[in-house]
Structure 1
Amino acid sequence: MVKWSPLVSAGFFVLGLTACATAPTLSLKTTPIPPVSRVVILAEPAATMPVEITQPIFVTAEHGRLAEVAVLGPTGPLAGQMSADGSGVWIAESTELAYGTTYRISAKAVDSRGVANTETDDFTTVSPEKFFTGSVSPLPDTAVGIGTPIAVTFDKSVSDRAAVQRALVITTSVPIEGAWAWLTDKVVVFRPRYYWPGDITATVSLNLTGVQAKPGIYRSGDI
């Protein structure tokens, strides 16, 4: 509401304007929108040190989803696929890499805004100083007595006996109870708890790929 009132000052007649209501004021309050985190690609193994050839390879993304993954070696890309549990992890299908070899992981991920980020990383596998091998007796397709042990003889001394022994697998046509025992640092034998039953077939597998007999001495493949 505006009210007009006459004012007299020094012989002049002046119209004065008096406001009876204040003008409204506008107040703005804003809330900052948090920035979307940049998508980060994580890969295992890392490039900080040489890795074992049996090291699993997987790639994942933080703050986004993987769009493309490639792991390249000297013979081409390694096969792989996204995990079946929906966790968004890419896993290489290969369970054995090559010794002394550099691999490159290249991955592309996209965040919630559709912004893509591509990263690459290299890692190198261990380079053995030497290799070791082993032989099994009795020889394949040999008939043996009920008390004959199975012996594995290595051409290098073994200091990590637990790791090597875990790689020795005996499969029998009927269940049998027995145990391994080391005779020397190169010879380990398996004996049944009692005796071998008649007409039993036993198969010995030396799953020694990537196993160290001692630091720097590896087996290059299974036997």
Structure 2
Amino acid sequence: MLPPRRLALTVATKLAAGAIAASAITVIGATTALAVEPYPSAPTITAVNSGPAATELQVVYTAPLADGGSPVTAYQVSIDGGTIWFTCAGVSGICPLGSLTSGQTYSVILRAVNGTGAGEISNTGVGIPAAAVTESADKPKVLPKPHVRVSATFNAASNNLGVTSPTVRLGVGALPKFRFSRDISNKAAVERNLAVTATNQDGVVRGVPGAWGWLDNRSVVFRPRSWWPGNSTINITSKLDNAVLGKSGRTYVVGSTELARTYSFMTGNSVVIKVDGKTDRMSVFIDG
């Protein structure tokens, strides 16, 4: 038997900080505090709507309460958390965004600019670019015939955590799963009609980047890009009702009207453990 190995343990903690908010799907987050002069205070995002084209969004906002002592001359928008800023066209209360990916969730923030510089950052809005039409290929006005309805069950913790109750807090590695009652041939249609957001303890909402993965023709799980945010409510908004999700032979498969709903679960503290086999060191990150 090999001798036991001794591990060095590092524990890092971080207090939860306020985060972000939403819309096309529209949910609006908390208002940011006023800026200190001479910079403008934060504008407020009230909605993020689909634009005229399937690759556009329109960010609707109200002006900051204080301009910092000089007129606001421009607004800037960011879709990557503030690393890169683009200047909005005009100061009319709507900031158009183009050249986006249709169906992808975008988190958007704004700031006002005066003669001195950029001011406080707004709450965050979340939007999904989609063609602004009354009918789409997924959800035609008149359903094709013949068709059958498909339903689905939801499991918030499919990766053997054994918890499905929406009142029990899950770990940040949980994998929510949908199990459909029939085979789905148009899997992209399912993914286009499911949107994932997270609401933190301050009531602020943000989009959750990630991807859907199919286990077979009936089961699909969502994996966030990194981990779920801790101490949050995760909402998966379904618009699968009356959506055409493929065919079975000559019969179309259409989402049940009961699929027009939001599926939710909660996460507890973010606890991430990383082990370095080369140094025999284990690091535990709690809410950080």
TM range (shorter): 0.3 to 0.5
Q: Highest CA radius of gyration, 1 or 2?
A: 1
Greater relative CO (CA pairs within 8 A, separation 6+): 2
Q: TM-score with structure 2 length normalisation?
A: 0.33
Q: TM-score with structure 1 length normalisation?
A: 0.42
